[in-house]
Amino acid sequence: MAPVLSLNGMSKTYGTTTALDAVSFSVAPGEVVALVGPSGAGKSTVFRCVTRLLSPDSGSVSVLGRDLAHLHGRDLREARRDIGLIFQQFNLIGRVSALDNVLAGRMGHVATWRVVTRRFPTVDRQLALACLDRVGLLDRAYQRADSLSGGQQQRVAIARVLAQRSRVLLADEPVSSLDPKAADNVLTVLRSVARENGIAVLCSLHQVDLARRFADRVVALRGGRLVLDAPAAALTPAAFAEIYGTPEPPAGETHPSCDAPPRIAAA
């Protein structure tokens, strides 16, 4: 099966610092790939290059066979529409409903005036409700986003990506601020929608035990270099020590080099 997302020999430097050194990997439809590594390994640079916030110094990023570096204007906007984003801090509009937040995923598909006035076509509203139903939140559709728990807000963010009809989903530490139960719920939904909808998921994770349990493959970076690209089961304690330079902490704990925020209770 042809990959949806491909990085080919991608390198990036900041002054004299090498952030990425000839990194290559791909993500297939329906596959969940965990991106791991210590702080400064290059994970954030990968995400910025995939979204074209940065351009690699060499190599390429392709989405659905299109090299992003060669796209401009309308073509680039259409390519970005295929890339959905989920953030560590949810990035929802707290004062509006869960439904309105999901409808934001349709912004690239409708006229600007509809976005500004929040007068989306009926078909888009039906799609948004179906996406909320898919993540188990149909009964919270008209509830303010800031009244939802952390785990529920992250599931709203997943529903927004589904409404966007993205083919690639970039999840940047999506469960770092959640308690273990909420983190499991969010990653279970994420893996399920990836497989059912053929979405290629690249998920940055600091909790290695979650990467083993929920990812199909693990891609590990250290010092900007690719040091592991293998099935999740290959992320053994020995591999962990090679990636992070220290023994693996107990399950559920974040490695101290990851600089992850403290977790909050969320359902």
Over residues 211-237, the pLDDT tens digits come to 999 999 999 999 999 999 999 999 999
Q: Domain-by-domain residue ranges, the chain?
A: 1-82+166-267, 94-165
CA distances, 16 to each of 12, 13, 19, 20, 229 (Å) = 10, 7, 10, 12, 27
What gap in Å lies between CA 124 and CA 142, rounded to an integer?
A: 15
Of 51, 67, 85, 49, nearest to 164 by C-alpha is 85
Question: In whole angstroms, what is the distance from residue 55 CA to residue 171 CA?
Answer: 20
Domain 1-82+166-267 has CATH 1.10.357.10: no
List, for the chain, all residue ranges whose pLDDT scores fall below the cut of 50.
Answer: 259-267
Hey, how many other C-beta atoms are within 10 angstroms of the C-beta on 9? 13
Over residues 63-72, the pLDDT tens digits come to 999 999 889 8
pLDDT digits (tens, 9 = 90+) for 1-22: 789 999 999 999 999 999 999 9
For the chain, what is the HEC assignment? CCCCEEEEEEEEEECCEEEEEEEEEEECCCCEEEEECCCCCCHHHHHHHHCCCCCCCEEEEEECCEEHHHCCHHHHHHHHHCEEEECCCCCCCCCCEHHHHHHHHHCCCCCHHHHHHCCCCHHHHHHHHHHHHHCCCHHHCCCEHHHCCHHHHHHHHHHHHHHHCCCEEEEECCCCCECHHHHHHHHHHHHHHHHHHCCEEEEECCCHHHHHHHCCEEEEEECCEEEEEEEHHHCCHHHHHHHHCCCCCCCCCCCHHHCCCCCECCC
Bridge partner residues of 203 (DSSP): 34, 171
pLDDT of residue 265: 42
d(CA 65, CA 168): 12
CB 99 within 8 A of CB 141: yes
Q: How many CB atoms lie within 10 A of CB 211?
A: 24
pLDDT the model gives residue 250: 65
Q: pLDDT at position 264, please?
A: 44
Q: What whole-number distance in Å separates Cα of residue 213 and Cα of residue 20? A: 27
What is the per-residue pLDDT for 123? 92
Angle, vertex CA 186, rays to CA 170 and CA 63, nearest 5: 20
Contacts with 81 (C-beta within 8 Å, 6 or more apart), sequence order: 108, 109, 164, 165, 166
pTM: 0.87
- What is the model's pLDDT at position 76? 87
Instruction: Answer whether 21's CB lies under 8 Å from 43's CB.
Output: no
